[in-house]
Structure formats: C-alpha cells, structure tokens
Structure 1
Amino acid sequence: MTVSVPTILAVLALALALLPALLALANLLALRKAPKAPAPDGLVSILIPARNEAGNIGPTLAAALASTGVPVEVIVADDHSTDGTAAIVAEVAARDGRLRLIPVPPLPPGWTGKIHACHVLSQAATGRHLLFIDADVRLAPHGAASMAAAAEAAGAALISGVPRQVTGSLGERLTVPMINLMLLGYLPIPLMRTLRDPALGAACGQLVLVEAQGYRRVGGHGAIRASLHDGVHLPRIFRRAGLTTDLVAGSGLATCRMYTNFRESWAGFSKNAHEGMATPRALPVWTLLLGGGHVLPLLLVLAALLGAGSLPLALAAFALSLFTRAAITLSTREDPWTIPLHPLTVALALTLQWNALLRPAQAGVATWKGRTYPAA
C-alpha cells in the first residue's frame, strides 16, 4: 500500500508536536514556584541598568523599594541617558536612602552596553545576593525575598525566572510568547537540574539573581563582556565552574512589558538572534523542530480539508501544538488571546531568525539603545 506524502508529513508533524508537549508537561510539573518562606539572612542588591528609561524607571523603582521579607539596596546605573532617567532616579534617591544612582563610565572596547552596566553595578553592590532586573521589570513585593529563598533551597549560585509578560499590541502578542515556548517546550528542566552540562544552562536576562561570591568567582559579567544575550551565556559560565543554576516560575515574582509595538519587538529579538537560533548549524534544526511541530500541522489541516492527506492525523498534530501553547500560556499567566495566533507566532519567529542569519554582510550589525554591535 502506498502512503501519500501528506500522510507522511502528518505523521512527522504529530511526532514533532509531541516532543514539546511532553517536555512542557515535565517542565511545568518540575518548575518549582519560588517559595514565599523567609529569605536567608543578608542584603539583596537590586541592580538596574538604565539607558533612556524615563518612561519606565519610576514604577520600577517604586516596586523594587516596596520589597518585603528581605533587606534591599537598589542601585541604578545610568548608562549615558539623554532623557530624564537620571533626574527621576535622583529625585527618588533623595527621599529613600536605600536607593543609589551611579554613572556608567564610557563603554570600553569589546563590551556591550547592558553587560558593561551590569558589571559596573556589581562592583558597587554590597549584598549577599545580586538581583539583576531590567528597567521595565516590576518586582512583586515578595519577589526579591522569594528569589533569594529559592536560590538557598536549590543550593544555586544563579537562579532565574521569566516575569509575567505583559503584551498590549498585536506585534507584541505575535513575538513575545516565544520566550516561554522555547524555555518550557524545548529545555529539559529536570535534566538541567541533574547534569552540570553548560549547554543546559538557561536564564531570562530580565530577572536573574546570583550569589555574590560565586558571581565574582566566575568573573561575572566581565566574563561575557561581548555578549548581547546574558540569558544564554551567564548561566553557562557558572555551570562551567561547577556551580548550580536553576529556574523558577517567575510569573508571580515580577511583570515585564518588553516592547510596545511590532517594530520594537522585531529589533529587540533580532539583536541577539546570532547568539540564539540564528547560526548556520542551529537554525535548520530549529526550523524543522518549530516549523514541523507548530506551523506544518495547520498547513496539513488546510490541505486535508481540500482533499489531500489524513485529516485526523493533521488535526491531532494541530490540536497537540495548540494544547502545548495553551498549557504554557495559562501557566505563565500570559494573554490567552495569543493562543490562536500560535502558528503565526512561530512562523514569524523563524522568519526573524532567518532574516538575521541571511541579511547582507553590510547589514550584519545589531543596533540597540543607540549603539551598534557586530551581529555575529
């Protein structure tokens, strides 16, 4: 009996949709919520790199300074802002002695902006734990204490979580959900906790807590000075040194609105694409995994409705893909209206990655916050 090509593709799509479904199930069961128990003794330094963040920094400071359960200091590094960022921070610091504003020196050769600002912050910090957050992250009152408690419970020198992602525009809803899909659908968290393999290290650069002694032992941000993707590279240097890293459910610890429109989202995700999927070796594999497991099922359903291939198999693959996305979206408290957009979200993510890989050499740079870096 001859099996048609659409039927073969439907079987492949079902298998590729099953992989992230199983991983997501295992990960959601394994991903411990950060405990609300009392944090260990010692100061937590909340460290915020800021470059032209006048629209964000006020609420971010208010949330950080409202931290409970652990003593905190809050340090903002003004990275040559040309708006009112520094003035806003200075005004709040005049009212609350726990807040300090420090200037970032000129960017040295070989460094990227955020990494350098985080390095400067770490040198000024005095806490037992250093909590790096982006300027658009709003900590929950128990967020800092829970992160420190989770690190202590796991014996981890670095711990991270993905804040609840707030999306307001269609462009954000089509791009931002890929963060949790990649983390929960394709990183085997139970295996990450069992093995020290650096390749299994992962973090979200929006919310990273490190134990200060271990951080300085491995060289901190100075060891990844040329990186644009600290979420990939920082946990790996900890794991290479034999230190433990871990992930927690971050949606209850903080919120973040990364971007406000499609153009910002495209630029933001493009800037570090070469340190993620957009490499000649990795991207064909990711295209098979993501395209085959999340885009192909919808195409096969449409083809089957036109009389080509097996509709039951195609529907099973499509339903499994949407189920995975729904489980991740609901557990991370993201916008549920993004679930029906899922195949388009994945297709758009792959388009972005291929664009980053294939764009002409003269365009092979990443521009972010007014700075330009080599993209490869």
Structure 2
Amino acid sequence: MILLALSIAGLALALLFAGMVAANLGVLAPPQAGASQRPAISILIPARDEEANIGAALDGALAQTGVGVEVVVLDDGSTDATPRILAERAAADPRIRILNGATLPEGWIGKTHACHQLGTAARQPLLLFVDADVRLSEDAALRLAAEMETHALDLVSGFPRQITGSTAERIVIPQIFTTLLGYLPLPMARARPDPSFGAGCGQLLMVRRAAYDAAGGHAAFAGRMHDGLNLPRNVRASGGRTDLTDATPIAACRMYETFPDIWEGFLKNATEGMATPRALPVWTLLLFGGHVMPWLTLASALVAGAGGAAILSAAAVIAVLAARAAMARRLDQPWLSVALHPVGVLIVLAIQWTALSRASRGKGATWRGRSYGI
C-alpha cells in the first residue's frame, strides 16, 4: 500500500510539472521586432576579470541594428587584461564609455554595486543590463525594446540560450528552466501585478529608466545578489509591469565551465530563492517527489511485481521526460540533460541544502574573489 501511495503521489507531482511546462511553453515566445521608432538604449556591462569575454561582449553590443546605443562598461577592480582591452576599444569607438568602479561599500554585493554605478551613469531612456559572458544577436536590443513597447512593459528579461560544453554543464545548467517553467505560472504572472510573480534573468534585462528610478534601482537591494528576482519584483511593487520572454534566439551565454564553478555559482544565489527554511522543504517535495521518486518507485514496483504501482510510476516518468524533451527542443538544450534529468535535480537539491546549511551556520557566499555574509 505504501508503494502504491508513493506512486500516486509521484504521478500527481509529475503531472503538475508537465502541465505547467505545457502552459508556460504555450505563452513564452521570443520577442518580435517592430518598434515604432528608433529606440535609444544604454547597454550596460559590468566587468571584473573578463579578459576572455569582454571583446566579444563589446562586439555584440556595438553591432546592434535599428537602435541608437551607448555602451557603458564598468571595470570592477579587474586584475587581468580587462582594463587594457577596454581602453583600446574605447579609443577606437566613441560609443564606448569606460567607468572605473568605486570601492565596494560595506553591505553591498559586487555586481549589484557595479550595476548601480552603471545605471546612474546611463544617459538613455532604456537600460539594457548585459553580463560580459552574454553574446547578443544584432537585433537583440531592438526586439527587446519592441517587446516593451508592444506590451506596455516597464521591464522585460529572458534567459539567453545556455551554451554547455562539459557533461556537468549539460546536466545541471538546464535545471534553471525546470524550476522556472515548471513552477512559475506565466499566464497568471502576466495577469496579476503581484511582486511575488516578478522574475527575470540578470544576464539579460531591459528596463525603462523611469521605472528603474521609481523602484530604487540596484540600490534598493544593495546587499542581495539575485538581481534577476529583486529588480523585477521591485519594479512591480512600484507600479510597473514586467514580463519574461524567450531570449533563446537573441542571446547566448556560457554561464559556467567547470563543476566547481557551477556549484559555487548556483550556491551564491540559493538563499535568495529556494534555500530558505520555509521554501526548501516545499521545493524538495516538488522536485524529489515529482522528478526522482517515480524512478525509485518504478524500480521497486518492478522488483516487487506490483503492476499497478509500476504503471503509475512509469506514467510519471514519461510525463516528466516528455515535458523535459519539449523544453530541450524549444530552448535548444542538450538531450543529455533530458536523459539524466533526475541526476540534475539531485545536484540542484544538494546545492540548495548546502546553501541552507551554510546560512544556518552563518557562512556566506564567495564569488569573484569576494566573500559575503548571509
């Protein structure tokens, strides 16, 4: 009876995930071109030790078509060749402005402070925050601006296509979309102004200057890392409208390259999302119960000869894999991420519980050579 009950619970959780993915993929669309006028945009790039990325980031920013751009880059205390590369590029193109980052004040997060300085220095009515490892298509800024105009938005954001090279990247990185598209009801988020429905990606985020200022900009969450959550929620709280778009066709990013980087990268944002004492047990129920447990109950049912439990568990496995396959096809994800999906879920849960454990012991996050308290 216990095995049958677990199989029923696993199927219910799996169907919840599959149904949410289907609903979200039905409404999540790439931004379409069609702005009524030539938008003026400040492309804002924070850079700290980005010698391997900054040249390509500037190439993409300067290649934007159909818009007027200024490109503002903040060198945030780089110790590699980033300052030299920036100086050379700025000397060759007057559209580039270089800012030297101020000393990090107590209580601030490094990237948040860098983006605050960039936002303050920007001169155009539309601000496009872009990480240095993001590669923009030549129509990215125009399409994001058109999306804002068409849908009367104050902020729009989207996850770029995630480039994954190593096995670890292919298994873990796509799990970002498991939580986003599997558990955030986008149709409801669009219909309701609640700040709790605000979501975005700090890698690629466009916001109107007026809405940014009204929300307090990055200064409003100086000590927090997750700009992709905090800025959209603050814009909504101040009366603005935000939305997510499918940025797969307009931008690409290789977020992390090694498993240690993946682990630390996911860890640094965890306590601002899933890894809280109240939220993580619920997330564990949803993710372990719906994505991992059906495999365990299926194996147990087959060994025990429990036909009913086996059928229910197999249906749960198929539902989750079908949803993951739809996500992989739509978002250009590696098929290995589908085949090893339960492994990716377990790694994500391990990261979240590690983050919660560290926070409970007063240990903060470390990123880009800086340590932060929780």
Q: Same fold (TM over 0.5)?
A: yes
Please list every run of 5 or more consecutive structure 2 residues that lacks an aligned counterpart in the other structure. Answer: none
Q: What is the count of residue pairs matched by the alignment?
A: 372
For each residue in 1:50-101, what CA deviation from the matched residue of structure 2 results, as whole angstroms up to 9, or x when unmatched? 1011111111111111111111111110000000111112111111111111
Shift of 1:30: 0.9
Using the alignment, how far apart are the partners of 1:308 and 1:109 within structure 2? 62
Using the alignment, how far apart are the partners of 1:145 and 1:94 within structure 2? 26
Shift of 1:305: 2.2
The equivalent of 1:311 in structure 2 is 310
The equivalent of 1:222 in structure 2 is 219
- Written as runs of structure 1 = structure 2, the 5 A alignment for 1:47-196 is 47-196=44-193
Using the alignment, how far apart are the partners of 1:289 and 1:235 within structure 2? 25
Using the alignment, how far apart are the partners of 1:162 and 1:362 within structure 2? 32
For each residue in 1:14-63, what CA deviation from the matched residue of structure 2 results, as whole angstroms up to 9, or x when unmatched? 10011111111111111132012246433111100010111111111111
Using the alignment, how far apart are the partners of 1:317 and 1:20 within structure 2? 10
Shift of 1:359: 3.2
The equivalent of 2:233 in structure 1 is 236
Paired AA for residue 113 in structure 2 = H
Using the alignment, how far apart are the partners of 2:358 and 2:104 within structure 1? 27
The equivalent of 1:280 in structure 2 is 277
Using the alignment, how far apart are the partners of 2:162 and 2:221 within structure 1? 26
Using the alignment, how far apart are the partners of 2:167 and 2:240 within structure 1? 40
1:9 is aligned, of 6, 11, 14, to: 6
CA contact (8 A) 2:90 2:97 kept: yes
The equivalent of 1:28 in structure 2 is 25
Using the alignment, how far apart are the partners of 2:338 and 2:87 within structure 1? 42
Using the alignment, how far apart are the partners of 1:302 and 1:141 within structure 2? 49
Identity of aligned residues (%): 48
Using the alignment, how far apart are the partners of 1:316 and 1:104 within structure 2? 54
Specify whether residues 103 and 39 from structure 1 end up closer, same or farther in structure 2 by C-alpha distance, changes over 3 A only.
farther
CA contact (8 A) 1:154 1:246 kept: no
The equivalent of 1:260 in structure 2 is 257
CA contact (8 A) 2:45 2:132 kept: yes
SS of 1:306's equivalent in the other structure is helix
Specify whether residues 244 and 128 from structure 1 end up closer, same or farther in structure 2 by C-alpha distance, changes over 3 A only.
same
Shift of 1:360: 7.3
SS of 1:192's equivalent in the other structure is helix
Normalised to the residue count of structure 2, the TM-score between the two structures is 0.97
Using the alignment, how far apart are the partners of 1:213 and 1:242 within structure 2? 11
Normalised to the residue count of structure 1, the TM-score between the two structures is 0.96
SS of 1:37's equivalent in the other structure is coil
The equivalent of 1:356 in structure 2 is 355
Using the alignment, how far apart are the partners of 2:200 and 2:244 within structure 1? 7
SS of 2:267's equivalent in the other structure is helix
SS of 1:271's equivalent in the other structure is helix
4+ aligned runs moved over 6 Å, structure 1: none
The equivalent of 1:331 in structure 2 is 330
CA contact (8 A) 1:6 1:308 kept: no
1:197 is aligned, of 169, 190, 194, to: 194
State which drifts further: 208-217 or 39-48: 39-48
For each residue in 1:318-351, what CA deviation from the matched residue of structure 2 results, as whole angstroms up to 9, or x when unmatched? 0111111111121111222221010000011001
